[in-house]
Structure 1
Amino acid sequence: MRHLEVTLAALLACGGLPGTALAACPGNTQLEINDCAASAYRDADAQLNAVWPAARAAAAASGADGLLLDAQRKWIAFRDAACAAEAAQYGGGSIQPLVHADCLRRLTDRRTADLRALLPQ
């Protein structure tokens, strides 16, 4: 357990994990923290899926629907590959699911903001 505490402290000090990831997931065990991070990602994904129809409609209005759909598919592939690479350095460790889920949440939040920016004001 001490090794985990040192690892978490090092990650926070080096910016490897955002402090909010741990603050938002208070748990007593790594499993509880991992589950909370996975839940935060599911919430972020739900927000992205809620914005998607409006972003796609806005793109369709300008004739860019196909371009946005292609970009979204490529973004999903990028997100999955980037987060797999970020979590790989913790392969086999109990913190790996936390790192992976937090990366998915972070990139999904950014994509949701990008899609919102496409919406008419």
Structure 2
Amino acid sequence: MMIFTPLIMLAAAASPNPDWNCDEPMVQQEMNWCAHQDYLAADAEMNAQWAKTSAIQKERDEQWSDGHGNVDDGQPGFFQTMLDAQRAWIAFRDAHCSSEGYYARGGTLEPLLVSSCKATLTRERTAQLAGLIVS
């Protein structure tokens, strides 16, 4: 079912032009819009995974605590460490993808490059988040 989620989300979003088709985009503006829709689908998948992984990381914090939310080793817990990493990752993703977009800085291709980069990195991050709860 996860394979079809991006396609469903692409179909659900109303395009600015009814003739646009993300299966075979023909003009740059259409390509840019489709790439952004792909990124939005990837972001929605990551947010769903974040909710699952967060819940498990919070459970792990409880298991490791003394019953009052205090971890004995003085280090941040599972959830806080993941949250810090996620915040750093978002900053990395956005800066990195902006730099990839600079290849076409100011041109009509720039939004496609940035959105495509964000979609790719977001899907990679979704897999990383899922990997944190495998054990």
TM value normalised by structure 1: 0.76
Aligned pairs, number: 98
Structure with the higher fraction of residues in helix conformation: 1
Q: CA deviation at 1:61?
A: 2.6
| Residue 96, structure 1, aligned to residue 96, structure 2 | no
| Residue 70, structure 1, aligned to residue 75, structure 2 | no
User: 2:121 — aligned with what?
Assistant: 107
Range that drifts further, 68-77 or 84-93: 84-93
5+ unaligned residues in a row in structure 2: which ranges? 1-21, 62-77
User: 2:52 — aligned with what?
Assistant: 54
Q: How large is the Cα RMSD of the aligned pairs?
A: 1.4
Deviations 1:45-85 (A, max 9, x none): 00000110111122223331110010000000000000011
TM value normalised by structure 2: 0.68
User: 1:117 — aligned with what?
Assistant: 131
Q: Is the 8 A contact 1:58 1:120 kept in 2?
A: no
Q: How many Å separate the matches in 2 of 1:42 and 1:89?
A: 22
Q: How many Å separate the matches in 2 of 1:31 and 1:104?
A: 18
User: 1:4 — aligned with what?
Assistant: none
Q: Secondary structure at the match of 1:62?
A: helix
Larger Rg: 2
Q: Is the 8 A contact 1:40 1:105 kept in 2?
A: yes
Q: Which amino acid aligns with 2:33?
A: D
| Residue 79, structure 1, aligned to residue 93, structure 2 | yes
